[in-house]
Structure 1
Amino acid sequence: MDAPATGSKIEIHSYKHNGKLHRIWESTLVLKGTESVVIGANDKTQVIEGNGRTWITREPAITYFHSKYWFNIIGMLRDDGIYYYCNISSPFIYEEEALKYIDYDLDVKIYPDMTYVLLDEDEYEEHKRQMNYPMVLDRILHRNVDYLLKWLLQRKGPFSPGFVDQWYERYLTYRED
């Protein structure tokens, strides 16, 4: 599998299980790019929804993707602390200058005090029926929710103290003023 080069700008493409485009983040700066891990950063990035609607992200964010785990993690730097938004998703692939994954609806929102909420369970159940997720996929996704929450409780990976701040500092060294 190819990996994006550190210092390059890539798009991030999110799809649904049926192959339909869900969302595109137009520009993310790669801070670390390997075949197994991609860490990126963006700020005020245009996002294009599958229906064509566009919006701009509000704050700087550090993104974390892994080729083994069925989730990705976004650490958003806000005035009152770091908020995390975690998508339960397929592991990423990198092709045609874009990082791509399948979004499976379940999300975990984590607050600066590390409390969390599991979101979109109804949407997940609806799409599971509509798109006929196999039972093995359902088990993989729920197991990865458990892995993600273990990472959170153990302060592992992007949840470790200083992780988001350190990568944000590195991002600032790339920014053009």
Structure 2
Amino acid sequence: MAAPKSGSKIQIHSYKHNGSLHRVWENSIVLKGTETVVIGANDKTEVRESDGRTWTTREPAICYFHSKHWFNIIGMLRNDGIYYYCNISSPFVYDEEALKYIDYDLDLKVYPDMTFDILDEDEYELHKKQMNYPVVLDRILYNNIEYLQRWVMQRKGPFSPGFIDQWYERFLTYRW
């Protein structure tokens, strides 16, 4: 698999299990790009929904994608601290068009004090029935929620102290 180059701008494409395009982030700067890990950043980036609606992100965000884990992590820098939005998703793939993953609806929202909530379980159950998710996929996704929760509790990866701030400082060197 190819890897995006540090300093390059990429799109991020989110799909649904049935192959339909779900959401596109127009511009993210690659801060680190390997075949295994991509760390990107964006701020006030246009996002296009599958129904054609667009919106713009409100704050700087550091995005962490891994080719072996069934989740991705977005650390959003807000005035009152870092909030994390974690998508339970397929591992990413990258081609010359974009970084791509399948969004499986389940999300973990992590607050600055490292407490968290699981979101969108009803949406997941609906899509699981509509798109006939295999039983093994259900098991993989819930195992990865537990794995992700352990990362939060252990302050591992993007949840470790200073991780988001360090990558945000790097992002600032590209922006100006």
TM-score bin (small chain) = over 0.9
Question: Which residue is equivalent to 1:49?
Answer: 49
Question: Which residue is equivalent to 2:96?
Answer: 96
Residues 1-177 of structure 1 mapped to structure 2, 5 A cutoff = 1-176=1-176
Shift of 1:97: 3.1
Q: Is contact 1:4-1:97 (8 Å) kept?
A: no
- Give the Cα separation in 2 of the matches to 1:97 and 1:151: 31
Q: Any idea what the Cα deviations from partners look like across 1:24-54, whole Å, max 9, x if unmatched? A: 0000000000000000000000000000000
> What's the secondary structure of 2:168's corresponding residue?
helix
Q: Percent identity?
A: 78
Report the TM-score when normalising by structure 2. Answer: 0.99
- Give the Cα separation in 1 of the matches to 2:41 and 2:96: 19
Q: Any idea what the Cα deviations from partners look like across 1:111-142, whole Å, max 9, x if unmatched? A: 10111000000000000000000000000000
Q: Which runs of 4+ in 1 moved over 3 A?
A: none
- Give the Cα separation in 1 of the matches to 2:90 and 2:131: 15
- Give the Cα separation in 1 of the matches to 2:72 and 2:175: 24
Shift of 1:8: 0.2
- Give the Cα separation in 1 of the matches to 2:153 and 2:44: 30
Shift of 1:96: 2.4
- Give the Cα separation in 2 of the matches to 1:57 and 1:112: 19
What is the count of residue pairs matched by the alignment? 176
Consecutive unaligned residues of structure 2, counting only runs of 5 or more, are none
Q: Any idea what the Cα deviations from partners look like across 1:136-175, whole Å, max 9, x if unmatched? A: 0000000000110010011000000000000000000111
* Residue identity in the other structure for 2:60: P
- Give the Cα separation in 2 of the matches to 1:97 and 1:164: 26
Consecutive unaligned residues of structure 1, counting only runs of 5 or more, are none
> What's the secondary structure of 1:104's corresponding residue?
strand
